[in-house]
Structure formats: C-alpha cells, structure tokens
Amino acid sequence: MTAHAEMPGADVVRRAQQGDVSAFEQLYRANAPAIRLLCRRMLRNDRAAADLVQDVFVRAWEKLGSFRGESSFGTWVHRLAVNVVLGHVKAANRDTLRFDDAASPALGQSAERQLDIRLDVDAAIARLPAGARIVFVLHDVEGYAHGEIALMLGLAEGTVRAQLWRARRRLITLLDA
C-alpha cells in the first residue's frame, strides 16, 4: 500500500457492519495489499498467501459485528490475519514452529547480485525456517512485543527471544553470502 492511499473511515466500517457489500469491498481494497504482504512474508508462498488473504477477509466479514472500533479497521484485520496465518501454520505442521539450524538452507551465491536491498532482505527472510521467520516478521517487521508473540504462538517468552536472536544471526549470515 502506498503512503498516498486513503483509508476508509468509520462510516465505511459502519455501513459494512450493516451489510453494505460495496462498503466492505472498499475496506478490502484498502487493506488487502498489506495483508497479502504479511501473509507472504510469514508463509514465503505466494499462492498460500493469496488463499489466506481471502480466508482473512471471509472471516472479517463474518466477524465484522464484533469490531468495536477501539482500533482502526486496518489494525483489527491485521491481527485477524496474524491469527489466520498462525492457525494455518499450526494445522499444516506443528513442528515447523521450532527453529532447526540444520534444516535451514543457505541463500547461496548468486551470479547476479540484486541491487535492491529490500528484495535481498525479503529473500533472506523467506529462507528462514518457519518458526524463526514467523517470530522475526512478527517482532522486527510488524512490531509485536516478545510477550505478545509468545501468547500468539503458545511459546515461552524466552523461546521467542531465542528464536528471534537465531533468526537475526541467520539473516546476517544469509545477507553476507
């Protein structure tokens, strides 16, 4: 989403809560790009991210009545998206939430080094094991606190801190390659 995009106001949310599909479509169009990016970063799979974006907004439509406006709609749907992605990951394979250095592939040398640092960082994040990637994205990209992440993932806060430290260490190695 660009900095110039205008987010729909509370009136659009109210209309959507009253069943106005066009108002909900406005909310979708304003928030879907950020939700897709979040899903893609957490899953490193474009197809799965696209599918989960749809799941997130289906759930948002179903739960729209529970939105109380204490935060922005974007913040609310973002948190919903995190929960949907985490549920997907847990359902797919509970063991992927553990960090395993041996299972982590190296980025490898590229004949043509990309000039765009952001693409290099995104590529390196995608190479992290699932658990480390999720913790890194939630903490360093999305800004969640260690305790919040621990609650979301059902882990001890110390485990979250350790995974984050290992993820950062691995990213340095991957980015230096």
CATH code of the domain in which 23 resides: 1.10.1740.10
**pLDDT at residue number 63:** 92
Q: Based on the domain organization, do 18 and 47 belong to the same domain? A: yes
Average pLDDT estimate for 42-56? 89
End residue of a domain, out of 70, 92, 114: 92
Q: Based on the domain organization, do 157 and 100 belong to the same domain? A: yes
Q: Based on the domain organization, do 80 and 16 belong to the same domain? A: yes
Q: What pLDDT band is residue 103 in, cutting at 50, 70 and 90?
A: very low
End residue of a domain, out of 36, 63, 92: 92
**pLDDT at residue number 56:** 94
What residue numbers bound the domain in which 107 lies?
Answer: 94-177
pLDDT at 91 over 80: no
* Mean pLDDT for all residues in the chain: 80
pTM of the model: 0.61
**pLDDT at residue number 2:** 40
Domains held by the chain: number = 2
Average pLDDT estimate for 81-98? 72
pLDDT at 128 over 60: yes
Contacts by 119-128 with C-beta closer than 8 Å and gap 24+? 120/175, 121/171, 121/175, 122/41, 124/171, 124/174, 124/175, 125/41, 125/44, 125/171, 126/41, 126/44, 127/174, 128/104, 128/167, 128/170, 128/171
**pLDDT at residue number 115:** 42
